[in-house]
């Protein structure tokens, strides 16, 4: 991001702020960045609403709630109207200083942060305020830091800045002050990069209009645990859980390693669970995924590595970027997500050089197809015969194909067919623990079933 091109969306939740609302709008407008201001009045009764009704400026959008819903509801409502690059949440009182926006957004502009919190406890100037608020804040920070393994100093700060795509990706439901904790948990669950920077603070008294109460401490605890145990997008959560299956991931890599070439294309790399095994000084690896958030994350992980290229593309368009370019294409748990898998195999044929190889891991056995498969976006599970025929019809010669993870197939049937589980659970950890035993057995016994089919096929002919 270039500083001069940055546009800010300033979200201002408002409730009974007749004394300060016009002044805070004035201060926000005076701040030098290009901006849009989104104000949500939360059914004010003191005349604030009437003041806001008189505002008619192109860079200010004013929304009104018919009933008082709370700060969290106002923020969630305003997000739908955000069009700028960076979003800052601004209270309608005069506790925080808009002339500090530049400090708050600097790390985002530099590309080092996705989210920045303005902390009142990192050395900025601040008015002395209530001890019990300070104590409650510190206690809440402690509890949240324990559960998130973080080191926040001020998660209840108003000043939170987000890349707009980051804020829109969060799953938010809190209506009141619990939104502060919910935002924090959602950000950490998705592994966004968070900074804190010092800000000034002019805390108000209750006589001056302060609204947060001691009971909100318990509301925040409620939203901490609700957010912690709420599922992410099923696909993303599954990727994160699979990443924890370290023995399984190493096992798959050991099976793959003997067939790897020097120039590798990985399709559907996700969050890079398998990618890190592929990368070395002796190979050049291109990682692709259709999910831009995954590829943006991996670009940060491999930011200075000259042996890695990362592209955010639809894998059915790979032949538009490369022709006869790679000696190895890897697609692990990918082809089942593509409705026209024949078209994908043909595209892979085109990007492979002469005698290049496709290494494929695909879910096996139609009898194991479950609602969990559907929810993950799977169109099918394969029989050995089906996978062989499709690859051969697309110009490949099968070099190796076998069922792997026989015990996993049994666990899958019990978990997702009989018990109808909706996500990967503790059984996966048990499976990961016994992977060495499974590997030992499958080296000596060729099972006629398994959770997946592991296939290696070489390009035998070009497709016209």
Buried b (16+ CB within 10 A) or exposed e, 279-288: beeebbbbbb
Residues 284 and 373 occupy one common structural domain: yes
Mean pLDDT of the chain: 87
The residue segments making up the domain with residue 412 are 235-459
Residue 119 belongs to what H/E stretch?
strand 115-119
Q: Of the residues 195, 230, 265, which one is the last residue of a structural domain? A: 230
Give the count of domains, the chain: 2
The mean pLDDT of 94-108, rounded to a whole number, is 91
- Check pLDDT > 70 for residue 203: no
CATH of the domain at 41: 3.90.550.10
Bridge pairing between strands 160-163 and 86-89? antiparallel
Q: Of the residues 230, 261, 285, which one is the last residue of a structural domain? A: 230
In this prediction, residue 303 carries a pLDDT of 85
Ramachandran area for residue 377 (φ above 0: left; ψ -120 to 50: alpha; else beta): left
- Check pLDDT > 70 for residue 260: yes
CA distances in angstroms from 352 to 70, 349, 413, 432, listed in the order given: 57, 5, 36, 33
In this prediction, residue 1 carries a pLDDT of 54
pLDDT digits (tens, 9 = 90+) for 234-247: 556 555 555 556 78
Q: pLDDT: is 131 or 455 the higher one?
A: 455
Residues 219 and 269 occupy one common structural domain: no
253 contacts 277 by C-beta, under 8 angstroms:
yes
CATH of the domain at 269: 3.40.50.150
pLDDT digits (tens, 9 = 90+) for 284-311: 999 999 988 889 888 888 888 999 999 9
98 contacts 77 by C-beta, under 8 angstroms:
no
Spell out where 235-378 has E strands: 263-266, 284-289, 308-312, 326-332, 352-363
Residues 435 and 449 occupy one common structural domain: yes
pLDDT exceeding 70 applies to what percent of the chain?
A: 89
- Check pLDDT > 80 for residue 183: yes
In this prediction, residue 4 carries a pLDDT of 60
pLDDT digits (tens, 9 = 90+) for 111-168: 889 999 999 888 766 655 656 667 777 888 888 889 888 888 888 888 999 999 999 9
What sign does the CA torsion over 11, 173, 122, 84 have?
negative
- Check pLDDT > 80 for residue 3: no
In this prediction, residue 204 carries a pLDDT of 52
Label residue 209 by pLDDT band (50, 70, 90).
very low
Residues 212 and 327 occupy one common structural domain: no
CA distances in angstroms from 115 to 169, 188, 353, listed in the order given: 12, 10, 43
Q: Of the residues 164, 195, 230, which one is the last residue of a structural domain? A: 230
The mean pLDDT of 424-429, rounded to a whole number, is 64
- 116 is a domain residue: yes
- 369 is a domain residue: yes
In this prediction, residue 369 carries a pLDDT of 94
Label residue 402 by pLDDT band (50, 70, 90).
very high
- 375 is a domain residue: yes
Q: pLDDT: is 121 or 4 the higher one?
A: 121
- Range with lowest mean pLDDT among 54-68, 72-86, 134-148, 376-390: 134-148
- Range with lowest mean pLDDT among 99-108, 229-238, 342-351, 385-394: 229-238
CA angle 231, 234, 239 (to 5 degrees): 105
Label residue 71 by pLDDT band (50, 70, 90).
very high
In this prediction, residue 70 carries a pLDDT of 92
- Range with lowest mean pLDDT among 91-95, 172-176, 212-216: 212-216
In this prediction, residue 206 carries a pLDDT of 47
The mean pLDDT of 441-452, rounded to a whole number, is 89
Residues 68 and 209 occupy one common structural domain: yes
Task: Copy the structure tokens of residue 316.
Answer: 């059915």
359 contacts 278 by C-beta, under 8 angstroms:
no
Residues 304 and 452 occupy one common structural domain: yes
In this prediction, residue 453 carries a pLDDT of 96
Per 3-state DSSP, the chain is made up of helix, strand and coil in percentages (nearest 5) of: 40, 20, 40
- Check pLDDT > 60 for residue 2: no
Q: Please tell me whether residue 150 adopts helix, strand or coil conformation.
A: coil
pTM: 0.65
- Check pLDDT > 50 for residue 339: yes
Residues 185 and 248 occupy one common structural domain: no
| DSSP state at residue 205 | P
Residues 117 and 44 occupy one common structural domain: yes
- Check pLDDT > 50 for residue 194: yes
């Amino acid at each position: 991001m270039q500083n001069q091109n940055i546009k800010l969306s300033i979200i201002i939740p408002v409730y009974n702020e007749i004394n300060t609302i016009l002044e805070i709008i004035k201060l926000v407008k005076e701040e030098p960045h290009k901006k849009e201001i989104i104000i949500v009045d939360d059914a004010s009764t003191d005349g604030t609403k009437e003041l806001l009704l008189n505002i008619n400026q192109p860079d200010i959008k004013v929304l009104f709630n018919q009933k008082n819903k709370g700060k969290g509801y106002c923020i969630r409502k305003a997000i739908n109207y955000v069009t700028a690059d960076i979003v800052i949440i601004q209270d309608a009182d005069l506790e925080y200083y808009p002339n500090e926006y530049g400090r708050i957004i600097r790390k985002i502009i530099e590309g080092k942060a996705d989210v920045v919190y303005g902390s009142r406890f990192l050395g900025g100037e601040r008015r002395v305020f209530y001890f019990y608020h300070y104590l409650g804040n510190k206690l809440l920070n402690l509890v949240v830091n324990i559960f998130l393994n973080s080191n926040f100093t001020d998660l209840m700060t108003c000043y939170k800045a987000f890349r707009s795509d980051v804020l829109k990706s969060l799953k938010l439901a809190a209506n009141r002050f619990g939104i502060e904790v919910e935002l924090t948990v959602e950000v950490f669950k998705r592994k966004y990069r968070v900074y804190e920077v010092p800000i000034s603070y002019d805390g108000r008294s209750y006589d001056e209009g302060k609204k947060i109460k001691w009971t909100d401490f318990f509301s925040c605890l409620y939203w901490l645990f609700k957010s912690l145990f709420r599922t992410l997008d099923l696909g993303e959560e599954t990727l994160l859980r699979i990443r924890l299956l370290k023995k399984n991931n190493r096992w798959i890599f050991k099976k793959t390693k003997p067939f790897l070439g020097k120039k590798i294309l990985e399709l559907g790399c996700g969050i890079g669970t398998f990618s890190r095994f592929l990368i070395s000084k002796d190979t050049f690896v291109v990682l692709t995924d259709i999910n831009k958030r995954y590829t943006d994350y991996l670009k940060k992980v491999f930011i200075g590595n000259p042996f890695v290229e990362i592209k955010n593309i639809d894998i059915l368009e790979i032949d538009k970027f490369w022709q006869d370019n790679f000696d190895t294409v890897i697609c692990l748990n990918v082809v089942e997500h593509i409705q026209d898998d024949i078209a994908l195999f043909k595209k892979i044929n085109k990007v492979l050089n002469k005698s290049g190889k496709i290494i494929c891991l695909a879910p096996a056995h139609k009898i194991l197809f479950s609602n969990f498969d559907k929810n993950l976006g799977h169109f099918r599970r394969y029989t050995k015969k089906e996978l062989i025929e499709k690859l051969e019809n697309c110009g490949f010669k099968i070099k190796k194909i076998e069922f792997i993870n026989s015990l996993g197939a049994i666990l899958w049937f019990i978990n997702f067919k009989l018990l109808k589980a909706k996500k990967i659970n503790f059984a996966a950890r048990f499976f990961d623990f016994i992977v060495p035993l499974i590997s030992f057995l499958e080296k000596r016994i060729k099972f006629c079933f398994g959770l997946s089919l592991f296939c290696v096929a070489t390009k035998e002919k070009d497709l016209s």
